[in-house]
Chain A
Amino acid sequence: MRILLVEDDAEAASYIAKGLQEVGHVVDHVGNGRDGLFMAMSERYDMMILDRMLPHVDGLSIVKAIRADNNATPVLVLSALGNVDDRVNGLRAGGDDYLVKPFAFAELLARVEALGRRGTGEAAEATVLRVEDLELDRLARRVTRAGKSIELQPREFRLLEYMLRNSGRVVTRTMLLENVWDYHFDPQTNLIDVHISRLRQKIDKGFERPLIHTVRGAGYRLGLE
């Protein structure tokens, strides 16, 4: 993907840019809001990563400006402001995701990949989500694997639905907590692992090839090995 990174902290920027380039993305980096706004308005990108607090023009103003210009490029807002209200403001301004600093690179990468997929306009409203022999029918609220029906609790259903939408990509525990439970705090115990292992019991148990994989230091991935 071609990614615009607007970040005034040079060290943080090189850390992000280096990491993204290593996995094959092309990153344009600018260090202040004015240049960021100019680049965002004049070039085509698949994704923008904007720091919230920037010299000259702040990140949220850039988002507002490109949204007013009917530019729907996915935007990930980075910020040191981590309150729920800060997050709400960030998303209300037109950001697609909000990541609080400091973060693990795996977290950033997972979110970039998830957003990038959304940007390709993949049928987000498809009624049947499918990976290999696993099928989830959103209308009938039914899950089958290899034609065999699987009973899921409502929350498990939503968990699987989210993982299916991001199949093949890493989803982090925080992403799951935010998107499946709408919680923006870290539970002291690692609850998500317990939920995943439960889901795993229902989806993978008795099948030769597991679909839910743990990605060490990052999160989980749904799909074949």
Chain B
Amino acid sequence: MDWSSRLLRTTAFRLSLSYLIIFTASAVTLIAVIYLTSNALVERQIMETIAAEIRGLSDQYRERGLVGLAELIHERGGNQPGRQSLYLLTGEDDRPIAGNLSVWPRDVIESEGWLRVPVRGQRGVDAIARWQSLPGGYRLLVGRSLHDVREVQRAVTRAMFLGLAATVVLGIVGSFVMSRQILQRIEGVNASIRRITRGEISQRLPRNGSDDEFDQLVANVNAMLDQIERLIDSIRAVSDNIAHDLRTPLHRLRSRIDVALMGDDAGELRATLEQTLAEADNLLATFNALLTIARAEAGARLGEFGSVDLAVVAHDVCELYEPLAEDRGVHLTCAVAAPLPVSGDRHLLSQALANLLDNAAKYTPPGGRVGVEVDPRRREVVVWDTGPGVPAEAREKVLERFSRLDATRSTPGNGLGLSLVAAVARLHDARLLLEDNQPGLRVRLVFPEA
């Protein structure tokens, strides 16, 4: 398809063309109305003038008689043919006495004392006249030619149509230019999109900086592309991590089976199988944790977000961990009375809180204290403990996947707990703050205003 035929098919061109048609139709209507109205007005004015003049002339006849009237007609130019004003005074036998008409007009349309002289061979009226009988058998006719008026009207109408034609031509040219501009911008966007589709995912649509609606659309699409690129990157990172972090335990599993197969002691074989099963279960748990993190991180709100009361979530998790804390000789306090409604995923929030509490209960030595607080005023959930805490310089690091502080290597865990909390926090637009509890760790999850 070539450039010009594409231009004709653009929305902008079709739109301006239809505007042009509507505009032309209204302009033509306007001209017609002006023409007809002015025509009627001019005729009425002429008729009033004629009526006044014929009244004046009849008065003169009564005062000054036939001679006076004839003189008056003569003075007003009634002896020159072809003038604007028409006069005719006839006697009893219709013989002309005075005036610039030689004979009584024929082929007239007569109504209510008005005569309309049609233009020969044309529609319309050439002249308007009125006649009146005078005492003594005389008849007086006064009229006006419409020729000049018609000339002016014709000139005005012609000018109007010429103007209209110019407008139409300009409009069509303008539509072309406008459509071409829009088409060029669309073409730029399309070219970028084609490049993105081909795989240049970092490509962005061109902006012209005008901040018009089109520019805003482009800005929004660019923001969407940023988000998509971020998601692709995070998926890539997650799959890289999964590949890397599952390979190690899988390798361990494989070697263990290998070694077991070399021996032939049935009891040892069984023991190895049991170990292997336990290790496979650990591997599955790690795998599930990674999937949950990936899901939360991708921001994929597959489950519908609902209204969740964090006080209830915290209370339930507290209750879940309370016996464990007691068993370990850790004093657990839960200040979760006041409701704190947020929009979120109950399961993920429960799991995040469980992870925090799990860490706190795991790392706090017997005799220590662990607390859960829900503060609706600050819109936050706090889990604190009096354990060893996390050094300030390591707080960023512990949020990363599989990160474990050296001092904790002996405690069971897969190093994914806090990364899941971080991912859940991000999914809920909540801030995750690790602070010093002096002593111990204080983890704050600050939720945005509802």
Contacts and interface: CB of A to CB of B under 8 A. Distances in A.
A185 B316 CA distance: 14
B330 to A, nearest CB: 12
A188 interface: yes
Q: Could you say which interface size class chain B belongs to?
A: 20 to 34
B350 A183 contact: yes
Contacts, number: 56
A193 to B, nearest CB: 9
Contacts of B417: 188
A198 B321 CA distance: 12
Which of B284, B413, B417 is the most central at the interface, judged by chain A CB atoms within 10 Å of its CB? B284
A83 B412 contact: no
B354 A84 contact: no
B347 A187 contact: no
Interface in B315-329: 316, 319-321, 323-324, 327
Contacts of B74: none
A88 to B, nearest CB: 7
Given A85-B302, A102-B284, A186-B285, A191 B320 contact: yes
Contacts of A85: 302-303
Interface residues of A, number: 21
Contacts of A186: 285, 288
Interface in A182-212: 183-189, 191, 194-195, 197-198
A185 B424 CA distance: 14
B351 to A, nearest CB: 5
The 8 closest A-B pairs by CB, nearest first: A85-B303, A194-B323, A185-B351, A84-B347, A194-B324, A85-B302, A198-B323, A188-B358
Interface of A: 82-85, 88, 102, 153, 155, 181, 183-189, 191, 194-195, 197-198
Given A84-B345, A188-B414, A191-B324, 17 more contacts: A82-B291, A83-B303, A153-B319, A155-B319, A181-B320, A183-B350, A184-B347, A185-B347, A185-B350, A185-B354, A187-B354, A187-B358, A188-B412, A189-B358, A191-B320, A194-B323, A197-B323
16 contacts: A83-B302, A85-B303, A88-B303, A183-B320, A183-B347, A183-B351, A183-B354, A185-B354, A187-B354, A188-B358, A188-B362, A191-B320, A191-B321, A194-B323, A194-B324, A195-B323
